[in-house]
Amino acid sequence: MDSKRLGYGFTLLAILIFSLQDAISKHLGSAYPPVFIAMLRFWAFAIFVMALGARSPGGLKVVAATKRPVLQILRGILLAVQIVITITAFTIVGLAHSQALLASGPIFVALLSMPLLGERVGWRRWTAIGVGLCGVLVILNPAGSDFDLPVLLPLVSALMFALYVIATRLVSRDDTASTSFFYTGVAGAAAISLVGPFFWTNLAPVDWLWMGLLCITGMSSHYFLIRAYDLLDAAAVQPLTYLQVVLAAIIGVSIFGETLNFNMVLGSVIVVAAGIFTIWRESVVARRRAAENRAENDTGK
C-alpha cells in the first residue's frame, strides 16, 4: 500500500474511532458528571503522550522544552474545558445535533484568525464564513418553538475548539508538533485534576469497562490521526473529518433514538460545504504564500 492510501486509511480509522468515542462519552455522560469522565480520559491521555515523549529522540526533556509555556498550558486548559462542554452537549442536546454544530469549527477558525493571527481573509473565505454562519442559524432555528438555550452548548464548544486551534497555530511558530501534543495531554490533565476530584463518583463495574474503552479510543484515535498527518496534507485530512457528522447522525438515530429534523439536515449540509471550502481555500492560500517565500529567498540569493 502506498503512503497516500495508507494515510487515507489512517484518517478513516481515526474518524471511526472518534465516532465510537463520542458515543461512549454520551453513554457515560448521561450517568456520571462530564467533568469526572473527562478527567479520567485526560489521565489516560497524559500517560499516552508521556510514553510517546519518552520514546522520542532526546526523551521527555526535549519534548517538554517550549518557548511558549503560558500559551501551551492555556491550550491544554482550553481543550479540557471544551471536552467537558462537548460531553455535556452530547448528553443534553444529543449526539447528532451536537456534531452538526461542532462542524462549524473551521468556520470559526477562519473568522478568529484575522484578529488573533493577523491573517488576511479574501472575499471567497468571507463568503464561506457568511454561508456557514447562516447554516448554523438554520440548525439552531432560534425562531422555532423547539429552540432551547442548551442547544448553544455545542456552539460554545466549537468556539472554544477554534480558540484551541488558533493557539496551536501560534505555538507552532516556535515549538514542534510533538511538544504541542505533549502539553495538550499533560497540561489538560493537570488543569482538570484541580476540579475533577470534587466530582468523583464510583463507577459501576460494567462502566469501568466502558471507561477503559473510552481511554483506549481517545489514545488510538489521536495516534492514527497523527499518522495520517504524517502521510497527508492537512487539506486532504480535514475534509474527511466531516464524516463524523454523518456517523454521529447514524449512531444518534439507531442507538440513542434521536430524531433528525429538516432544519438540522439542511443546516448541516450548508455548514459542512462551507467548512470544506474554507479548508480548501486556506490550503490554496498557504501554498501560494509558500511559493512566494521561496521565490523571495531565491531572489535574495
Give the span between the Cα atoms of 217 and 199, in whole angstroms. 23
Cell of 230: 504524517
Look at residue 80 and tell me if it is in a domain: yes
Q: Would the CA dihedral through 212, 157, 142, 264 be positive or negative?
A: negative
Look at residue 55 and tell me if it is in a domain: yes
Q: 92 is in which domain, residue-wise?
A: 3-296
In the chain, the number of structural domains is 1
Look at residue 285 and tell me if it is in a domain: yes
> Where residue 111 falls among pLDDT bands split at 50, 70, 90?
confident
In terms of C-beta density within 10 A (0-12 exposed, 13-18 middle, 19 or more buried), how is residue 115 classed? exposed
Cell of 124: 471567497
Look at residue 44 and tell me if it is in a domain: yes
Dump pLDDT digits (tens) for 189-226. 999 999 999 999 999 999 999 999 999 998 888 888 87
How many angstroms separate the Cα of 209 from the Cα of each of 87, 155, 294? 18, 31, 53
Is 150's pLDDT higher than 90? Answer: no
Residue type, 255: I
Is 86's pLDDT higher than 90? Answer: yes
Dump pLDDT digits (tens) for 243-297. 899 999 999 999 999 998 888 899 999 999 988 888 888 777 777 777 767 776 6
Is 238's pLDDT higher than 90? Answer: no
Q: Where are the alpha helices (DSSP H) in the chain?
A: 3-29, 34-55, 59-63, 69-92, 95-102, 105-117, 123-140, 153-171, 177-192, 205-231, 234-237, 243-254, 262-300
Average pLDDT for 58-66: 91
Is 1's pLDDT higher than 60? Answer: no
What is the model's pLDDT at position 275? 85
Is 176's pLDDT higher than 80? Answer: yes
Residue 47 CB neighbour total at 10 angstroms: 15
For the chain, the C-alpha Rg in angstroms (whole number) is 20
Give me the chain's average pLDDT, please.
88
Are 224 and 13 in contact by the 8 Å Cβ rule? The answer is: yes
> Where residue 234 falls among pLDDT bands split at 50, 70, 90?
low
Largest CA distance in the chain: 67
Q: Where are the alpha helices (DSSP H) in 64-122?
A: 69-92, 95-102, 105-117
Give the span between the Cα atoms of 53 and 50, in whole angstroms. 5
Q: Which of 28-42, 46-60, 119-133, 265-279 has the highest mean pLDDT?
A: 28-42
Look at residue 288 and tell me if it is in a domain: yes
Look at residue 301 and tell me if it is in a domain: no
Is 146's pLDDT higher than 80? Answer: no
Are 138 and 36 in contact by the 8 Å Cβ rule? The answer is: no
- The H or E element spanning position 255 is none
Look at residue 242 and tell me if it is in a domain: yes
